[in-house]
Amino acid sequence: MSNEASAIAENRRRYEELKRAGQGHAPRALPGPSPRDGMPLDAIAILHRETIPGGWYWTTALKAGEALRLGLDHGPSSVALVAWSAADPSERLNYADTVKVQWTAALRKGRVLFSDMGRVMLSIIEDSCGAHDALTGGSDAASNAARYAGGPHRNTRDNLVLAALKSGLDRRDIPPCITFFAPVVVGPEGRLSWNAAGRAAGDFVDLRAEMDLTVALSNCPHPLDPAPDYAPNPVAVTRFRAPAPAADDLCRTATIEAVRGFENNAAAGF
C-alpha cells in the first residue's frame, strides 16, 4: 500500500530527526563517585536525623529543595525507596520510565528519578557508591523464608505496605522500588548477579526533591544479596536543605532528557 509505505517513511524520517536532535545535545560527562568522607553536611542545613534499624522502614515528607542523605555509617545495608507526589499521590516513582528515558539502568551522581508523568521527582546530587538496583525490587516474606534460617524476618514488601498505609495510601499505591547500595550486575542473557565489592561502609547518596514528596524507605537485605545471615545494619538518614541549584546544575543539565523532564516540572509549577 503506498499510503502505508509513505506513513512508515514519514515516521522513520521523524525518528531520525528526533534522534539527530537528541544526539546533537551532547550529554555532559557524568563525574565519578563522590568521596566517601569528603562531604560533611553544613550543620545549619540539617532538618532532621533518623537512624533506621536493620529490617525497618521510615517515611518522611520531603519538600522541593530539601534532600535526603542515606548513609551506610554503620556498615553495609541496602535501602529500597518509593516516592509519591505530595500534591497527588497517583503521581509516583516510575523505575521503568527512569531507566528507559535515560537509556541506562546505572543510576549514579548526575542521574534523576522520574515519575509516571514525565516529571523529575528526585535528583542524585551526590553518590559515593554508584551501585543501585532498579530492576529487581525488594524482598518479601517468601524470599526471606527461602533464604534465611530462624525467621520470620522483616521484609521490604511488608515494610512498604506499612509505609503506604501510614501515609493514607494502600497496596495499590505501592510502585516498584529502587534500591540504593544494591550492586546488581546484569550479565549475558539478562542473568542477574551480586557484586559485593560494589558498596562499602561509609557510602552515601544525596537525593534532592524536585517536587513536594512523600518518601518511604525500607532497610532490608536485597533479595540477591548472598550473605547467609539476615543482618542488615542500621542506616543513617539525614533530611537537609540542599544548596539551591545553579544555572549549570549537573542533574538539571546533564542530558537533553533531564532538561525536558525539568521543563515538564516547570510547566506544572514544580
Partner 1 sequence: MTDTVTTLFDQVVPAQAPFSTLVRAGQTIRIEDMEGCQAVDTLFYRADDMGERYSSQDTVRVQGAAYVTTGTRVMSNEGRVMLVVTADSCGRHDTSAGACSCESNTVRFGHATKYLHACRENFAIEVAKYGLSKRDIVPNINFFMNVPIEQDGGLAIVDGVSAPGDYVELRAEMDVICVISNCPQINNPCNGFNPTPIRVTVREG
Is 25 a residue that touches partner 1 (CB under 8 A)? no
Is 30 a residue that touches partner 1 (CB under 8 A)? no
In which residue are the cell numbers 542521574 written? 111
Q: Rounded CA gap, 256 and 270, in Å?
A: 19
**71, 118, 183, 234: which one binds partner 1 (CB under 8 A):** 118
**DSSP 8-state class, residue 224:** T
Handedness of CA 158, 162, 165, 167 (dihedral sign): negative
Closer CB to partner 1, 64 or 256, in the complex: 256
Is 116 a residue that touches partner 1 (CB under 8 A)? yes
Is 75 a residue that touches partner 1 (CB under 8 A)? no
**142, 196, 201, 266: which one binds partner 1 (CB under 8 A):** 142
Minimum CB separation of residue 118 from partner 1 in Å reads 3
**DSSP 8-state class, residue 62:** E
Is 266 a residue that touches partner 1 (CB under 8 A)? no
Q: Rounded CA gap, 36 and 202, in Å?
A: 6
Is 200 a residue that touches partner 1 (CB under 8 A)? no
- Describe the strand order of the beta sheet including 178-180 as a list of residue ranges: 57-62, 213-218, 79-85, 178-180
Rg for the chain, CA atoms, rounded: 20
**117, 162, 200, 236: which one binds partner 1 (CB under 8 A):** 117
Is 59 a residue that touches partner 1 (CB under 8 A)? no
**56, 136, 241, 249: which one binds partner 1 (CB under 8 A):** 136
Long-range CB contacts (< 8 A, 24+ apart) of 185-192? 186/105, 186/135, 192/135, 192/136, 192/224
**28, 48, 63, 171: which one binds partner 1 (CB under 8 A):** 171
* Size of interface with partner 1, in residues (CB under 8 A): 60
Helix (H) or strand (E) holding 8: helix 2-24
Per CB under 8 A, contacts with partner 1 among 211-250 are 223-224
109 and 127 in contact (C-beta within 8 Å)? yes
**DSSP 8-state class, residue 132:** -
User: Within 10 A of 102 (CB to CB), how many other CB atoms are there?
Assistant: 21
Is 96 a residue that touches partner 1 (CB under 8 A)? yes
Closer CB to partner 1, 119 or 239, in the complex: 119
Residue type at 143 in one-letter notation: S
Is 168 a residue that touches partner 1 (CB under 8 A)? no
The residue ranges that bind partner 1 (CB under 8 A) are 4, 7-8, 11-12, 14-15, 18, 21-22, 90, 94-97, 99-101, 103-107, 114, 116-119, 134-138, 140-143, 157, 170-177, 185-187, 189-192, 223-224, 257, 260-261, 263-264
